[in-house]
């Protein structure tokens, strides 16, 4: 659905989609619920179609773009599920000018709770074109990887041992940091589940992590905030009320702990506002501003 063809669905229907995609309600309940929000000119089927992801539409950088070098890599995760697979992307120019690969700052990109879907891979490619190397791990590796369906991915995700998944993410970050073609400085960003992981990783990694930029992610335990050494950039949508409420305590804890941080609340933005593959959640103005701030943040604290 192009921006010209897009028709706004009721905000309650967007909330219903969020419940569905987070595994809180079944596919049947989602479809039945959509009928309640059908309004003049919008059938239940139209609402469902408008809310489901369109990864082709949301793709900004082609998988075979000549400006990047990308590959899938499997690495050990002894404290997690034993191993984890992910998507590694570097700018082509960093490796084409000499026999020795250029050392670039690294960014870990953590998906939502559906696994490594095409949108997350596209975000990793965007970082490569901003002259970072990016690694997007797939938290569903132990159950076969992202199944090419967000709902199925969410169902698989709900079955996982979250502690082991977190250790897989830790292994991914340290693997990236210690690669010979990495500068040794890394940042992390993520969305929803990935935003929460970004906050938790800032606690866990301490000085090993230079910066974090969580998008609408849950905060770490407040008592652990003083362990953070990374520079933290927080993004939330103003209409994402649950996360806004939790952000208030996190904001105060970051301030009290003298952590270098900024927090931004984007007007008229819902949960998932950055995801341009879900057009009814996507807020172009907020996403553009948040992306610019994120690149500037990582340039300042990870590249410098």
Full DSSP string of the chain: --TTT--PPPHHHHHHHHHHHTTSS-HHHHHHHHHHT-BTTB-HHHHHHHHS--HHHH--S-TT-TTEEEEEEEEEETTTTEEEEEEEEEETHHHHSSSSPPPEEEEEEE--TT-S-HHHHHHHHHHHHTT-EEEEE-TTGGGTS--S-HHHHHHHHHTS-HHHHHHHHHHHHHHHHTSTTEEEEEEEEEETHHHHHHHHHHHHHGGG--EEEEES-PPPPGGGGGG--SEEEEEEETT-HHHHHHHHHHHHHHHHTT--EEEEEETT--TTTT-TTSTTT--HHHHHHHHHHHHHHHIIIII-
pLDDT in tens, 40-55: 567 777 777 777 788 9
Domains within the chain, CATH numbers bracketed: 11-51 (no CATH), 60-303 (3.40.50.1820)
Q: Is the pLDDT of residue 2 over 60?
A: no
pLDDT in tens, 129-153: 999 999 999 999 999 999 998 888 9
Give pLDDT, residue 34.
Answer: 78
């Amino acid at each position: 659905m192009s921006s010209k063809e897009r028709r706004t669905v009721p905000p309650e229907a967007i909330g219903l989609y969020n419940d569905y995609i987070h595994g809180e309600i079944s596919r049947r309940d989602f479809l039945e619920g959509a009928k309640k929000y059908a309004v003049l000119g919008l059938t239940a089927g139209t609402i469902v179609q408008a809310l489901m992801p369109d990864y082709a539409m949301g793709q900004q950088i082609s998988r075979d773009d000549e400006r990047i070098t990308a590959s899938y890599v499997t690495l050990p995760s002894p404290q997690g599920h034993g191993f984890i697979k992910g998507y590694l992307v570097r700018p082509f120019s960093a490796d084409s000018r000499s026999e020795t690969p250029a050392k670039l700052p690294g960014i870990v990109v953590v998906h939502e709770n559906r696994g490594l879907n095409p949108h997350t891979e596209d975000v990793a490619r965007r970082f490569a074109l901003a002259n970072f190397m990016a690694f997007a791990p797939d938290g569903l590796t132990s159950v076969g990887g992202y199944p090419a369906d967000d709902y199925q991915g969410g169902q698989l995700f709900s079955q996982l041992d979250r502690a082991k998944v977190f250790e897989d993410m830790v292994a991914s970050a340290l693997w990236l940091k210690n690669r010979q073609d990495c500068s040794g400085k890394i940042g992390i960003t993520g969305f929803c589940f990935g935003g929460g992981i970004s906050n938790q990783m800032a606690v866990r990694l301490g000085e090993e992590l230079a910066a974090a930029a969580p998008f609408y992610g849950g905060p770490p335990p407040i008592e652990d905030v003083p362990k953070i050494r990374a520079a933290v950039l927080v993004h939330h949508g103003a209409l994402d009320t649950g996360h806004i409420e939790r952000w208030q305590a996190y904001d105060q804890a970051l301030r009290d702990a003298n952590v270098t941080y900024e927090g931004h609340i984007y007007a008229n933005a819902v949960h998932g506002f950055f995801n341009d593959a879900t057009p009814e959640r996507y807020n172009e103005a907020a996403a553009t501003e948040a992306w610019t701030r994120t690149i500037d943040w990582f340039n300042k604290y990870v590249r410098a």
